[in-house]
């Protein structure tokens, strides 16, 4: 099933631009339908997976290193697979409407589908290297999607920032995964199988700690960069430059959870190790609280949602650090449902009203009732209101923290404060735009009055409405009747995180509300306080301005300075190394070569035997070399272009003669052919080449002559030193011995070129082809310009 | 012969390097030609020179009869010659185009030139 789903997504990604062109109006539905079928297929696997039977398959990939293309669908993987295959098609449908008519819509859908394939691959991969490959693919597709509006500088900056942060984290992750693989395979080579890693006992042994300790830090650095933990969180709010479908799919429900996914995936192996738990707890708690505070001060719809997403990711990491598998699984599902829904609703609001700020919106429920239903359900779930599934998620989280004893008390306080901020954010983003006085929108959209938007905001057609309604409905159903799908999902996911089945406990909102516990009381208190805070939000923002100003000097501000600094350093180094002009760069390079290699050759090189080198010289040799040397010396002296070309041709002919005399007829023939061609081509363009001029003064020429002479002497000295050295003889002999028996060729040079080193020759052909294309292109455009000046 | 060839290499590299440092852009291109000749000759000289005995096996023989010229430098140089040819043709056309578009034949001016 997993392989089939991957194949379907890749095929769709390839087909997307063509489908878009063939059926511009229906393309979204055509592309989304097969993926919804995939989602149904994954859902059908749920009972089996909940029962503990996991589909897995494996194909050899790099068998020598024990790396396999291995897939495995357990509870955790299945949860993510279902999320990708349900939220994904909704994004495709949404994009098909909201970006209708965009010239690059086909490519957008294709990239979105590529992302879905990568994300699915990431969660079903059962091999560390395979997992890493998919991980990087998600970063890369995310970069393309954030930067989709490539004309806008903000979008480009955000895309680059996301790529550098998550990509940099990816590097740390790779190092960490390799260390883990080595640590798990004691003496028998690295273990790249994820399942093998989880079952390995070696990771917890003290002997493995020198590897496992750094591995934990590196792996978590990768996870934290991907999942936007403080202080690497800043890229995610900026990534909201992306179109709505991207925000809903990548930056709330799936991709940013890749870090959480990997931490959860490795929990059975590393959970309980103090360093692992404490890093997750510490960074999780700080992120959760800090981002929620930031969210409480924003009023731009997508930014509010972005910061609460960062906060939720923090909570998830924290729960993993506590080892609260069930709470993490439940909150993971709840968050994906309500946040995806809210992102779609925010997108619809902005698209319909052209207003980005929640404070400016109100009373839209009458104009867009369906959107209002979805958004309010989503917001209630986010606020953790009874009886939505968000309530269950938050209850389980609080219960898990309370169960941690005195150690959990600060966490409980942080979570309750976060919950208060989250309620404020949820009400502001999801409820406030729909209630209250009817909207007065003529002000911001004055210029668009003339077109069809004069009719005012209204519910969009089904492709954009389906996603938020389904997700909001799922959140409601999961809270009321978790047995339908939520319970098996959460229990099997929790089993994957814990490494073994977790005990049953109530999951429905009603089951958690009654009998009431301390967690219930805290949850209700947070809800009430959040609403109070919402009412007082103006005063709250004014009161917290000083704190926010103090924290505004964050990584995002420093980001520009850091990038500029990097560029400036690069320019400085470049100027230092090569000077401002090309000529100076060549001069510097020659001087450096002479100085460095000359010194090394003088100190270490063997003294060549001049007598031996002079042996075996015939008169013919002398004549040929004389032609070569005279041509070379004449080259800088001839003043005309044609003359120089003729002289260079003479040097080439002499070279061909040398090759012929010393047993290389192939070389000789090639040289003659190439020299003839060069002379022909050079003669053709000679008249259009610039004239030869003497620009530099006499002093500069004498200085350059000195540099050139020492350069020539050095290379001549090297030639004498290496001539006839036997280090390469075995390589040659091997080729000679294998030529006839293995390649059936009697001319060894030919056999080397077309058989033993055939790939080199292929590369050479590509170089020639590229040169030919370049030549043709430059001749061609010049001609066209000439025709139409 | 090695000594003679080493001298030729020295001269080819010296003059090629000298031309490469000229400001007249055509001379830089010609310098490239001489440098690649010199480099090919340097590779060629690095093996033992065996006059007039190409590494070709007789029909039916499993290998060429020694002594024979080393086939490896020949194969390397063959690739280098062809690539050098591609680079040279491209450079010639590029220089021609630059001269026509920018009306500049001084390398230093060309470096300070802003695209129009």
The band of A784, judged by pLDDT with boundaries at 50, 70 and 90, is low
pLDDT at A174 over 70: yes
Any residues with CB less than 8 A from the CB of A620 and at least 6 apart, and which? A661
The pLDDT value recorded for residue A170 is 95
Option in A617, A746, A753 nearest B56 (CB): A746
The pLDDT value recorded for residue A554 is 60
Residues in A touching B35 (Cβ below 8 Å) = none
Report CB contact under 8 Å: A663, B69: yes
Place of tokens 């691959």: A121
Option in A625, A670, A782 nearest B97 (CB): A782
Report CB contact under 8 Å: A732, B20: no
Tell me how close the Cα of B115 comes to any Cα of chain A, in angstroms.
Answer: 16
The pLDDT value recorded for residue A514 is 77
pLDDT at A471 over 50: yes
The pLDDT value recorded for residue A787 is 46
The pLDDT value recorded for residue A703 is 93
B47 touches chain A (CB under 8 A): yes
A677 touches chain B (CB under 8 A): yes
What value does the mean pLDDT take over residues A288-315? 92
The pLDDT value recorded for residue A446 is 45
Report CB contact under 8 Å: A719, B78: no
What value does the mean pLDDT take over residues A570-587? 81
What value does the mean pLDDT take over residues A675-698? 86
Residue pair B97/A690 in contact (Cβ under 8 Å)? The answer is no
Option in B15, B75, B83 nearest A636 (CB): B15
Residue of chain A whose Cα is closest to the Cα of B16: A708
pLDDT at A1 over 90: no
Query: If you average pLDDT over every residue of chain A, what do you get?
Result: 89
Cα(A399)–Cα(A563) distance, rounded to whole angstroms?
44
The pLDDT value recorded for residue A324 is 92
Phi-psi region of A73 (alpha: psi -120 to 50; beta: other; left: phi over 0): beta
Residue A474: both structure tokens together: 């799922």
Place of tokens 């047995």: A483
Any residues with CB less than 8 A from the CB of B110 and at least 6 apart, and which? A582, B25, B98, B102, B104
Residue A661: both structure tokens together: 């005399």
The pLDDT value recorded for residue A783 is 54
Residues in B touching A580 (Cβ below 8 Å) = 111
Pick A406 or A439 by higher pLDDT.
Answer: A406
Report CB contact under 8 Å: A682, B63: no
Residue pair A704/B1 in contact (Cβ under 8 Å)? The answer is no
List pLDDT tens digits, range A101-157.
899 999 999 999 999 999 999 999 999 999 999 999 999 999 999 999 888 989 999
The pLDDT value recorded for residue A199 is 87
The pLDDT value recorded for residue A455 is 61
List pLDDT tens digits, range B36-86.
999 999 999 988 888 888 888 888 888 888 888 889 999 999 999 999 999
What value does the mean pLDDT take over residues A704-709? 94
The pLDDT value recorded for residue B113 is 55
What value does the mean pLDDT take over residues A371-395? 92
Residues in A touching B40 (Cβ below 8 Å) = 655
The pLDDT value recorded for residue B116 is 46
pLDDT at A348 over 60: yes
Q: How many CB pairs under 8 A join A and B?
A: 317
Interface test with B, best of A689, A726, A772 (most B CBs within 10 A): A689
What value does the mean pLDDT take over residues A234-241? 89
A708 touches chain B (CB under 8 A): yes
Bridge partner residues of B106 (DSSP): B24
The pLDDT value recorded for residue A419 is 94
Residues in A touching B18 (Cβ below 8 Å) = 636, 704-705, 707-708
Report CB contact under 8 Å: B87, A771: yes
Report CB contact under 8 Å: B111, A580: yes
B102 touches chain A (CB under 8 A): no
ipTM of the complex model: 0.95
The band of B103, judged by pLDDT with boundaries at 50, 70 and 90, is confident
The pLDDT value recorded for residue A509 is 79
Option in A614, A690, A764 nearest B83 (CB): A764
What value does the mean pLDDT take over residues A519-540? 91
The burial of A521, by beta-carbon neighbours within 10 Å (0-12 exposed, 13-18 middle, 19 or more buried), is given as exposed
- In terms of Cα–Cα distance, which of A367, A376, A124 is closest to A265? A124
- In terms of Cα–Cα distance, which of B112, B86, B79, B87 is closest to B28? B87
Tell me how close the Cα of A775 comes to any Cα of chain B, in angstroms.
Answer: 6
Residue of chain A whose Cα is closest to the Cα of B24: A693
Residue of chain A whose Cα is closest to the Cα of B71: A749
Please tell me which of A212-216, A385-389, A684-688 the model is most confident about, judged by mean pLDDT: A212-216
Of chain A, the percentage scoring pLDDT greater than 90 comes to 59
What value does the mean pLDDT take over residues A758-771? 92
Half-sphere exposure of B74 (CA within 13 A, CB side): 34
What value does the mean pLDDT take over residues A199-215? 88
Residue A230: both structure tokens together: 């403080």
Of chain A, the percentage scoring pLDDT greater than 70 comes to 95
A748 touches chain B (CB under 8 A): yes
The pLDDT value recorded for residue A650 is 93
pLDDT at A453 over 60: no
pLDDT at A563 over 90: no
Report CB contact under 8 Å: A711, B17: yes
Residue pair A179/A152 in contact (Cβ under 8 Å)? The answer is no
List pLDDT tens digits, range A115-131.
999 999 999 999 999 99
Option in B13, B30, B72 nearest A752 (CB): B72
The pLDDT value recorded for residue A458 is 85
Tell me how close the Cα of A605 comes to any Cα of chain B, in angstroms.
Answer: 15
B109 touches chain A (CB under 8 A): no
Cα(A775)–Cα(A779) distance, rounded to whole angstroms?
6
What value does the mean pLDDT take over residues A433-441? 77
B68 touches chain A (CB under 8 A): yes
The pLDDT value recorded for residue A781 is 62
The pLDDT value recorded for residue A448 is 47
- In terms of Cα–Cα distance, which of A503, A761, A357 is closest to A490? A503
Helix (H) or strand (E) holding A56, with range, is strand A55-62
The band of A452, judged by pLDDT with boundaries at 50, 70 and 90, is very low
pLDDT at A436 over 80: yes
Residue A130: both structure tokens together: 């395979």
The pLDDT value recorded for residue A496 is 93
pLDDT at A405 over 80: no
What value does the mean pLDDT take over residues B1-9? 91
Place of tokens 């003290």: A206
Helix/strand/coil percentages in chain B, nearest 5: 70, 5, 30
Tell me how close the Cα of B29 comes to any Cα of chain A, in angstroms.
Answer: 11
CA A382: distance to chain centroid? Answer: 29
Tell me if the pTM is above 0.95: no
The pLDDT value recorded for residue A557 is 73
List pLDDT tens digits, range A10-69.
999 999 999 999 998 889 999 999 999 999 999 999 999 998 889 899 999 988 888 999
Average the pLDDT over each of A276-280, A485-489, A615-619, A705-709 and give the range with the smallest value.
A615-619
């Amino acid at each position: 099933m997993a392989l089939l789903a991957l194949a379907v997504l890749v095929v769709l990604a390839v087909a997307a631009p063509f489908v878009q062109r063939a059926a511009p109006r229906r393309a979204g539905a055509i592309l989304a339908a097969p993926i919804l079928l995939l989602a149904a297929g994954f859902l059908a696997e749920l009972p089996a997976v909940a029962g503990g039977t996991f589909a897995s398959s494996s194909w050899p990939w790099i068998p020598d290193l024990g790396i396999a293309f291995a897939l495995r669908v357990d509870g955790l993987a299945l949860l993510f697979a279902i999320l990708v295959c349900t939220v994904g098609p909704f994004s495709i449908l949404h994009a098909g409407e909201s970006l209708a008519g965009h010239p690059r819509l086909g490519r957008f859908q294709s990239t979105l589908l590529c992302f879905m394939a990568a994300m699915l691959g990431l969660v079903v991969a059962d091999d560390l290297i395979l997992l890493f490959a998919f991980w990087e693919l998600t970063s890369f597709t995310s970069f393309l999607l954030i930067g989709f509006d490539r004309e806008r500088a903000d979008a480009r900056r955000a895309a680059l920032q996301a790529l550098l942060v998550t990509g940099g984290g990816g590097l740390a992750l790779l190092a960490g995964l390799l260390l883990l693989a080595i640590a798990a395979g004691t003496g028998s080579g690295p273990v790249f199988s994820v399942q093998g890693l989880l079952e390995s006992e070696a990771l917890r042994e003290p002997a493995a700690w020198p590897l496992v300790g750094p591995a934990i830090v590196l792996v978590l650095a990768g996870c934290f960069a991907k999942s936007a933990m403080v202080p690497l969180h800043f890229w995610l709010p900026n990534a909201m430059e992306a179109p709505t479908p991207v925000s809903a799919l990548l930056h709330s429900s799936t991709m940013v959870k890749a870090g959480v996914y990997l931490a959860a995936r490795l929990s059975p192996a590393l959970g309980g190790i103090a360093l692992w738990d404490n890093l997750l707890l510490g960074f999780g708690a700080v992120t959760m609280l800090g981002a929620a505070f930031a969210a409480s001060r924003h009023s731009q719809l997508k930014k509010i949602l972005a910061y609460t997403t960062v906060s939720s990711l923090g909570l998830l990491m924290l729960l993993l650090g506590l080892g609260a598998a069930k709470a993490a699984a439940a909150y993971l599902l709840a968050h994906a449902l309500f946040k995806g829904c809210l992102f779609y609703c925010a997108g619809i609001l902005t698209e319909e009203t052209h207003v980005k700020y929640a404070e400016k919106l109100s009373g839209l429920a009458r104009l867009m009732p369906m959107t209002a239903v979805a958004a309010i359900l989503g917001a209630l779930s986010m606020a953790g209101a009874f009886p939505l599934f968000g309530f269950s998620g938050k209850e389980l989280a609080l219960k898990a923290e309370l169960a941690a004893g005195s150690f959990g008390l600060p966490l409980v306080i942080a979570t309750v404060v976060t919950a208060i901020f989250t309620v404020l954010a949820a009400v502001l983003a999801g409820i406030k735009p729909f209630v209250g006085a009817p909207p007065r929108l003529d002000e911001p959209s004055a210029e668009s009055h003339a077109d069809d938007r004069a009719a005012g905001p209204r519910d969009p057609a089904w492709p954009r409405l389906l996603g938020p309604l389904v997700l909001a409905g799922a959140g409601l159903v999961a809270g009321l009747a978790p047995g339908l799908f939520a319970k098996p999902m959460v229990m099997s996911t929790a089993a994957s995180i814990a490494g073994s089945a977790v005990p049953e406990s109530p999951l429905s909102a009603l089951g958690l509300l009654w009998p009431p516990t301390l967690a219930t009381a805290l949850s209700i208190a947070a809800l009430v306080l959040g609403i109070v805070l919402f009412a007082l939000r103006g005063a709250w923002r004014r009161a917290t301005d000083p704190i926010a100003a103090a924290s505004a000097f964050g990584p995002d501000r420093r980001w520009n300075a850091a990038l500029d600094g990097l560029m400036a350093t690069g320019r400085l180094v470049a100027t230092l190394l090569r000077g401002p002009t090309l000529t100076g760069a060549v001069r510097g390079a020659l001087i450096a070569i002479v100085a460095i290699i000359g010194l090394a050759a003088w100190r270490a090189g063997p003294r060549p035997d001049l007598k031996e080198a002079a042996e075996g010289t015939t008169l013919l040799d002398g004549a040929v070399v004389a032609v070569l040397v005279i041509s070379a010396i004449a080259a800088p002296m001839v003043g005309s272009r044609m003359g120089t070309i003729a002289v260079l041709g003479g040097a080439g002919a002499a070279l061909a003669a040398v090759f012929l005399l010393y047993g290389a007829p192939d070389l000789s023939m090639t040289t003659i052919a190439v020299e003839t061609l060069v002379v022909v081509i050079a003669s053709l363009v000679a008249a259009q080449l610039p004239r030869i001029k003497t620009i530099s003064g006499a002093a500069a020429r004498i200085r350059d002559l000195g540099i050139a002479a020492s350069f020539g002497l050095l290379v001549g000295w090297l030639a004498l030193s290496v001539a006839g050295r036997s280090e390469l003889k075995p390589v040659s002999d091997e080729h000679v011995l294998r030529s006839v028996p293995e390649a059936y060729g009697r001319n060894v040079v030919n056999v080397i070129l077309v058989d033993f080193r055939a790939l080199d020759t292929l590369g050479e052909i590509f170089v020639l082809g590229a040169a030919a294309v370049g030549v043709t292109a430059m001749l061609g455009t010049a001609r066209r310009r000439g025709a139409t000046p | 012969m090695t000594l003679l060839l080493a001298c030729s290499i020295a001269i080819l590299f010296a003059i090629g390097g000298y031309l490469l440092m000229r400001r007249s852009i055509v001379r830089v291109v010609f310098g490239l030609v001489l440098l690649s000749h010199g480099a090919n000759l340097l590779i060629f000289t690095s093996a033992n020179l065996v006059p007039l005995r190409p590494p070709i096996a007789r029909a039916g023989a499993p290998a060429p009869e020694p002594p024979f010229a080393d086939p490896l430098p020949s194969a390397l140089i063959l690739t280098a010659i062809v690539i050098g040819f591609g680079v040279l043709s491209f450079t010639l056309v590029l220089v021609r185009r630059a001269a026509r578009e920018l009306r500049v034949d001084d390398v230093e001016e060309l470096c300070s030139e802003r695209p129009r």
